[in-house]
């Protein structure tokens, strides 16, 4: 897809990955509808990108009004929707509150699904259009300390797969990009310290942006998994989950220690 002059909606625009994607898209001449809750940060991001006709939409995507405001900002149509907004909560499941669990499901799963529903009529008007959902390796591997987060990303992956097949006879493509651990504010200091203790690599947000741009430019893979050995673990977990069970069981004491805040 040639995105020069095209309108692209990017949620979670002020996050680490969102900012990296926004810069890459803007550099290619796209007109961006940047969506996040914090209006000041949104306008700050637009200032960094320069005066290129970008628009800021401060919205709570968990509300019908917030999703409607995104669609209304695309009155001339939209060629691409990138669902990048997300939150995380590192901790053992029995210590999570019901409100935290509901919030994770609302932001990470319900909101992107319902925004796709809101935006699909606009995307279907275009000769070529695309939906990209940003998931996670944890959308294919259930990992201790991230039970609810994993559930939301498993759900997003399943939704993406089903919607892609449902729209296979249309001109709207649908893809899922699953980063591995990434250096953003989504990960607390305890998560970073745990990853270092376990030898888990963390990518910079720009690495994710590169994969998004590859997908848009035509190098699309239905489900794109990032990082090695993470992409191997995804395949092993699908075929031989017991092997992954044993591997993660060995890591469990370390995970519990960092989840409890004891570094």
Is residue 15 pLDDT above 80, yes or no?
Answer: yes
Query: Model-level pTM?
Result: 0.95
Out of 143, 149, 176, 225, pick the active-site residue: 149
Question: Is 225 considered catalytic here?
Answer: no
The pLDDT score that the predictor gives to residue 173 is 95
Give the pLDDT confidence of 53-67 residue by residue, as tens digits. 999 999 999 999 999
Give the pLDDT confidence of 140-198 residue by residue, as tens digits. 999 999 999 999 999 999 999 999 999 999 999 999 999 999 999 889 999 999 999 99
Domain definitions of the chain by residue range:
7-259
Kindly write down the DSSP assignment for every residue of the chain, as one continuous string: ---TT-EEEEESTTSHHHHHHHHHHHHTTPEEEEEES-HHHHHHHHHHH-SSS-EEEE--TTSHHHHHHHHHTTTT--SEEEE-------S-GGGS-HHHHHHHHIIIIIHHHHHHHHHHHHHHTSSSEEEEEE--GGGTS--TT-HHHHHHHHHHHHHHHHHHHHTTTSSEEEEEEE--SBSSTTS-HHHHHHHHHHT---B-HHHHHHHHHHHHTT---SEEE-STTHHHHHHHHHH-HHHHHHHHHHHHHHHHHHHTT--
Q: Which CATH architecture has domain 7-259?
A: 3-Layer(aba) Sandwich (3.40)
Give the pLDDT confidence of 104-137 residue by residue, as tens digits. 999 999 999 999 999 999 999 999 999 999 999 9
């Amino acid at each position: 897809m040639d995105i020069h002059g095209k309108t692209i909606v990017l949620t979670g625009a002020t996050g680490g990955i969102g900012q990296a994607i926004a810069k890459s898209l803007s550099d290619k001449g796209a007109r961006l509808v940047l969506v996040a809750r914090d209006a000041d940060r949104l306008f700050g991001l637009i200032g960094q990108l320069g005066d290129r006709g970008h628009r800021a939409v401060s919205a709570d995507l968990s509300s019908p009004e917030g999703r409607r405001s995104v669609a209304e900002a695309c009155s001339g149509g939209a060629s691409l929707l990138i669902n990048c907004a997300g939150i995380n909560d590192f901790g053992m499941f029995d210590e999570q509150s019901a409100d935290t669990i509901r919030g994770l499901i609302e932001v990470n799963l319900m909101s992107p699904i319902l925004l796709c529903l809101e935006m699909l009529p606009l995307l279907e008007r275009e000769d070529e259009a695309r939906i990209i959902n940003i998931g996670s390796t944890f959308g294919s591997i259930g990992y201790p300390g991230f039970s609810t987060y994993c559930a939301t990303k498993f759900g997003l992956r399943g939704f993406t797969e089903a919607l892609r097949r449902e729209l296979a006879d249309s001109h709207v493509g649908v893809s899922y990009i699953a980063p591995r651990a990434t250096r953003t504010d989504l990960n607390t200091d305890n998560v970073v310290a745990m990853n270092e203790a376990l030898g888990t690599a963390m990518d910079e947000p720009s690495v994710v942006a590169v994969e998004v741009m590859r997908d848009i430019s035509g190098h699309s893979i239905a489900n794109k998994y990032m990082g090695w050995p993470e992409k191997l673990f995804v395949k092993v977990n699908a075929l031989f989950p017991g092997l992954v069970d044993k591997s993660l069981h060995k890591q469990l004491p370390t995970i519990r220690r960092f989840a409890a805040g004891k570094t």
